[in-house]
Amino acid sequence: MIGSVSLLSVQGISKALGNAKQSTQIIGSVSFEARRGEFVSVVGPSGCGKTTLLMCLAGLYAVDGGRLAFDGKPVSAPPQGVSVVFQDYSRSLLPWKTVFDNVLFGMKRITDMDSIGKRAWAAELIASVGLKGFEASYPWQVSGGMQQRVAIARGLAARSRLLLLDEPLAAVDAQTRAEMQDLLLDLARKYDQTCVLVTHDVDEAVYMADRIVVLSKRPTTVVEDIPVALSKPRDQLKTREDRTYLGLRHEVITLIRSMRVDH
């Protein structure tokens, strides 16, 4: 269920990267809201600043201007309740820890749960992402898709309420990608997650989203903020044949094609 309350509020944020000698304005002015339980996809031309935006939302980059709030509080450092899942799962998991211990590691900031509770919660999450039986494996012993499942479980383990997903499925094969899209949608519903997904893949953006934020070339601004009127649960065949889906896909691809980034 999507609530009416905004969990993430982004109002006119801006960000330049570089150093004192030479800085590049990456984010011009970006505004959007993610309401509780909403799945927001963010798309835009290559190099427009999607990852930079996500790093700002995560509190990993300080914004230069504008207002950014999570659950009504200004974001100045990585807030508790916000987890990031990166594309490069092989670098985000700890190779010397088992699947189980990687998920447990996600709970390191949780102080009001004892170790028995944490172990039970880790076991539940591992089962929820379909990895029961692989608890004792090391990340390098399982497939890429499975490693990304571990990273997602670890994100949820931090008792996240907002999942920031930076191209999390870009490195997995097409079949796994479709399965993982449905897994993410299931997990978002089951664990009451609000999600912001950055993706290059317009089909994925439309399939997953309740709303699509289309960014311009940099310094990036929001070109369109498009509601997605597709029923849930989504279905890889039926949804992708739906006229609304095809219309949105056309609209977003046309918008992105009309923009080019000058590197």
Site residues for ligand ATP per CB under 6 A: 17-18, 24, 26, 46-52, 218, 263
Q: Is the Cβ of residue 172 or residue 230 nearer to ligand ATP in the bound state?
A: 172
Long-range CB pairs of 69-72 (<8 Å, 24+ gap) are: 69/8, 69/9, 70/7, 70/8, 70/9, 70/162, 71/7, 71/161
Q: Work out how close the CB of 110 gets to ligand ATP at its nearest, in angstroms, rounded to a whole number.
A: 30
CB closer to ligand ATP, 51 vs 239: 51
Report the residue number, 23 or 76, with the smaller CB distance to ligand ATP: 23
Residue 122, SS3?
Answer: helix
Q: How far is the CB of 49 from ligand ATP (least distance, A)?
A: 4
What are the phi and psi torsion angles at 13 (to 5°)?
Answer: -75, 150
C-alpha span between 168 and 153 (Å, rounded): 13
Provide, rounded to whole angstroms, the least separation between the CB of residue 216 and ligand ATP: 11
* Residue 226, helix vs strand vs coil: strand
- Please report how close the Cβ of residue 220 comes to ligand ATP at its closest, in angstroms: 8
Distances (CA, A) of 20 to 24, 27, 169: 10, 17, 35
Minimum separation from the CB atom of position 24 to ligand ATP (A) = 4
Give whichever of 54 and 152 is closer to ligand ATP, judged by the CB atom: 54
Residue closer to ligand ATP (CB basis): 88 or 124: 88
